[in-house]
Structure formats: C-alpha cells, structure tokens
Amino acid sequence: MLPFSQKVEEWLEPLKDQTVKQGKDKKAVFTCKFSKANCQAKWTWKRDVRLCMMRIPCAFHMPTNLLFIFQEIFQGQKYKMSVEEDGFVHKLYISNPTTDDMGKYSCDISNISTSAYLDVEGKK
C-alpha cells in the first residue's frame, strides 16, 4: 500500500473525441486531468495517411508501415498548450482546424497516455 503522500499516477479525466466544423469552429480543444500536479506533458499527433489519400488520386500503394504520420506537437501558431492553475488539468488548443488536422491526439505524462480523435467536417 502506498503512503498517503504518494498518489497513484493516472488520468482522472482522459481525453475525449472531438468533432468540429471546418471554417465555422475557430478552435478544437482537448482537455485531460492527471492525478499529480505540475507534471510535464508531451502532446503527440498520429495522422492516418489513408485519410489524405482518399482526397488525392494515387498511382501506387503505400506499405502498411507508412500509413501513419506520428509527430510531437510543439507550441506555435497552430497549437497552444496550457496547464490550469491547479496544475492537474492539461489542455491542447488547435487553431482553425481543417480536415488536415484529423487524427489521434495523445497526452503523455510519466509514460502514461490518454488519447482521443479529432474529426473535422469539411465545408458544405
């Protein structure tokens, strides 16, 4: 049994899937809550290349190990990351989401991950 001062590291509130409308919604926001305060979070994005290939005719077939693009997310014009004042709640803001931003987003703290999908409905 852990002493009272040692909390179990876990996601108290995991990420939830998000759906936004391209051109209408100015941002998508992912929110999660970790059991320990003031931990360093690492945000990543995994994009399914097949989603892109559906829009672009392709004369060749990609090997299955190349069907995903995986990248770490850094603060910038497109992405903003924040931690609430309490130190437990982590947020990822995606500015002006388009169909190119669709994919699986993950937040990792101490090798414990939570993930959710972003779906962007195209302009009608």
Question: What is the set of domains in the chain, with CATH numbers?
Answer: 21-114 (2.60.40.10)
- Number of other residues whose CB lies within 10 A of the CB of residue 123: 9
On whether the CB atoms of residues 119 and 102 are closer than 8 A, the answer is: yes
Q: What is the residue whose two structure tokens read 């669709």?
A: 102
Q: Say whether pLDDT at 104 is over 80.
A: yes
Q: Say whether pLDDT at 39 is over 70.
A: yes
How far apart are the C-alpha atoms of 36 and 29, rounded to whole Å? 21
What average pLDDT does the segment 5-23 reach? 91
Contacts of 84 (CB under 8 A, 6+ apart): 90, 91
Q: Say whether pLDDT at 68 is over 90.
A: no
Q: Say whether pLDDT at 11 is over 90.
A: yes
* pLDDT tens-place string over residues 50-67: 555 454 444 444 444 445
